[in-house]
Amino acid sequence: MKAGSIEQRKKKRGWTDPKRALVILAPMILWWFLAAGFPMLFGFVLGFFEWRGINPQPKFIWFENFVTFFKNSLYREILWRTIWLGVVTTAGTVLCGFGAALLMNMPLKGRGAFRSLWYIPAVTSTVAISQVIQIMIDPFNGVLTRIFNANGWTPINFVDSATWGYIVIIFYSIWKGVGGSALLWLAGLQCIDASLYEAAEMDGANTFQKFLHITLPGLRPIVTYIVITGIIGALQIYEPVAFITNGGPQNGTMVLALKIVKDGFFNFNFGMAGASSLILAIIIFVCSASYYLFSKRRANDA
């Protein structure tokens, strides 16, 4: 029954033309393969070799790199830190974005201006903005240090402390992500049928009840998307750490993506870098796939 109408809809939508599709897509896919696909495949296998860049012959060592990864406390620490930093950052961004979206959804003058202003951090470059942060917290000549000294207080050394490093990194990530998150939540909020609110008001619901029974359920489709894409992005956190703390005092704030770069480009330990990348990729893929399956099942229920 449904199949019949889908067939009809498909016929209405376009024409069956595999040759044309091939002509257009083939060059794009080929070029992609050369510029991105092949390295990706290569990346999957790099971890299975011992390759230190100095000896040009990579040696196939099965899972040794992976075993090293999980046996070595530094790597385990880094993995754990990447995960909890990712969760905290995502939670912060998503919640603040949600709050902001609720406010922006109110009939206020200038909400368009607020939406744009809140989104500005997203278009800035982390390299550029972290310069401002460095200027502020530099222990020798930074702005905050100078203010502290001028007032006779002992300056806090932000650079020597992993805790302060976390605080700055988390704050920066939320600062950057809130605008985009708010816009996504806004999109979800505006999809909720306004007449539901009117009906509830006529039945005597107050603001809190409307929120609980209309807003929250209405947002369910978009919650998964926002949270999962947030976590996937946050697990790969790299720029803020690299430019603010550079891994922090003695690897105190090191995260996985940065460690991979350091292993590969600065220590030339290609095998280990490859193994770490693969582990990170698997974790992220599991998250994405779960989201995809979860949302498909939801769509089938609906």
Partner 1 sequence: MPETTFNADKIRAIDPKIRRQKLFRWIGKIAAYAVLTAGAVIMVYPLLYVVMASFYTAKEFNESVLGLFPVAKEPTIDNFKMLFMVGLDTATLGYYTNSILRTLYTTSFSCLSALLGGYVFARLQFKRKEALFLCMLATQMIPGILSVLPMYLQLRAMNLYDTWGVYLLLGGGALNVMGTFLVRQTLEELPISIEEAAKVDGANTACIIFRIVLPMVKTIMIYLVITGAIGVWNDWTTPFYYTESQSLQTIPSALTRLTAFAGKEGQLMDYPLILSFSLLVTVPSVVIFFIFQKHIVRGLMSAGIKG
The 221-250 site mask, x for binding partner 1 (CB under 8 A), equals -x--xx--x--x--xx-x---xx--x----
Sequence-separated (6 or more) residues with CB below 8 Å from residue 133: 168, 172, 243, 244
| Residue 274 binds to partner 1 (criterion: CB under 8 A) | yes
The token pair that represents 48 in the structure block: 């299975």
The 3-22 site mask, x for binding partner 1 (CB under 8 A), equals -------x-xxxxxxx-xxx
Residue closer to partner 1 (CB basis): 64 or 148: 148
Shortest approach of partner 1 to residue 63 CB, angstroms? 17
| Residue 66 binds to partner 1 (criterion: CB under 8 A) | no
Of 68-76, 84-92, 99-107, 211-219, the window that binds partner 1 (rule: CB under 8 A) is: 99-107
Grouping H, G, I as helix, E, B as strand and the rest as coil, residue 59 is strand
Residue closer to partner 1 (CB basis): 10 or 213: 10
Q: Is 264 exposed, middle or buried (0-12, 13-18, 19+ CB in 10 A)?
A: buried
The token pair that represents 176 in the structure block: 């950057």
Q: Please give the Cα distance from 279 to 256 (Å, whole number).
A: 10
Residues 148-207 that bind partner 1 (CB under 8 A): 150, 175, 178-180, 183-184, 186-188, 190-191
Grouping H, G, I as helix, E, B as strand and the rest as coil, residue 50 is strand
Q: Please give the Cα distance from 231 to 89 (Å, whole number).
A: 8
Residues 29-58 that bind partner 1 (CB under 8 A): 29, 31-32, 34-40, 42-44, 46
